[in-house]
Amino acid sequence: MSRTSFVCVVTGGGAGIGLLATQSLAANGARVHITSRRMEVLKKATKAHSPAQRGEIIPTVGPCDVTKEEELEDLVVQISKKENEKTSELKERLFNGETVSEWSDTFNTNVFTTVAFLPLLQAGEESHGDLSASVIVISSMSGIMRYSYNAAKGSTVHLSKLMSYEFKKAGIRVNSIAKSSLPQEKIKGKGHVPAQRSGSDKEMTQGVIFLAKNNYVNGGTIAIEGGVLLEQEVPGR
C-alpha cells in the first residue's frame, strides 16, 4: 500500500462518533491515527478494519487521556515520529504562547486537544499536494443555541472561528460540526426535532468527509441537527 498524504488524527476514535469518523475517513483513503483511554476499543476498531479495505487505521501505542498534559505531549511526539514530521517542544509552540497548565481543566477535552496538534498540522501543511491541513471540531448544538447548557462546547465553536482566522495564512483550515442526537446516543423524545428522528451515522460521516476533503471551506460551523435551530425562540417575535 502506498503511503497516502491524507493523514488524520481522531481522538476518541475507537467508539461512538469518533469511530464513525475514523471508519469514514479510512474508507476515503486516509491513514487515521486513533486514540482512546481504553486500549480494548482501539484494538477492536483496528481489527475490524481489513487490510483489503482502503485507508489505514493506526492505534496509539498505549491509552491516552487527552486531559493529561504528559499523555497529550507523548501522543503528539508519537504521531509526529510515525509520520516523519519534525515538531518543536509542545510547550514552546502552543496557541498564543500558552501552555497546558494555563488552560482550565474544564476545556481540556473539548478545546485543548485541538490546540495541542497545531504544531504537527503546521509541519504537515508543507508538502501534501492538493490536501490542506485541516481541523474538524465535533461540537454540539448547545454551543450555538440561545441558551447554552455546555460552555465547553460553546468554546469549541468560538475557538474554531478564532483559529481559522489565525491560521489562514499557514494554509490550515479549521471548521466545526454542531451535532444534535445520533442513534447510538439513545435520547428519548424527538418532538423537539422537526425531522422527528435522530440523525443517522451516514449523515454524520458525510459532514466529516465534506469538511476534510473540501479545501474551500474554512471557518464554518455545519449544523447536522435535523432542524433543531428552527425550534428556537426568535427574539422579538
pLDDT tens for 123-144 read 766 656 667 778 787 776 554 5
Contact 207, 222 (CB under 8 A): yes
Query: Is the pLDDT assigned to residue 183 strictly greater than 50?
Result: yes
HSE of 231 in the Cβ direction (CA atoms, 13 Å)?
13
Instruction: Please report the pLDDT score of residue 2 as a whole number.
Output: 46
Contact 190, 231 (CB under 8 A): no
Query: Is the pLDDT assigned to residue 103 strictly greater than 60?
Result: no
Instruction: Please report the pLDDT score of residue 149 as a whole number.
Output: 41
**What CATH number has the domain spanning 134-237?**
3.40.50.720
Please give the mean pLDDT across all residues of the chain.
76
Instruction: Please report the pLDDT score of residue 163 as a whole number.
Output: 81
Query: Per-residue confidence at 208, pLDDT binned at 50, 70, 90?
Result: very high
Long-range contacts of 161-170 (CB under 8 A, 24+ apart): 161/219, 161/221, 163/95, 163/114, 163/118, 163/135, 164/218, 164/219, 165/219, 166/95, 167/118, 167/121, 168/218, 168/219, 170/122, 170/125, 170/133
Instruction: Please report the pLDDT score of residue 90 as a whole number.
Output: 45
Instruction: Please report the pLDDT score of residue 167 as a whole number.
Output: 80
CA angle at 43 for the pair 38 and 44, rounded to the nearest 5°: 100
Contact 82, 58 (CB under 8 A): yes
Distance CA 180, CA 170 (A): 32
Query: Is the pLDDT assigned to residue 44 strictly greater than 90?
Result: yes
pLDDT tens for 155-182 read 777 878 888 887 888 788 989 888 776 6
Q: Could you state, in order of their start, the residue ranges of all structural domains in the chain?
A: 134-237
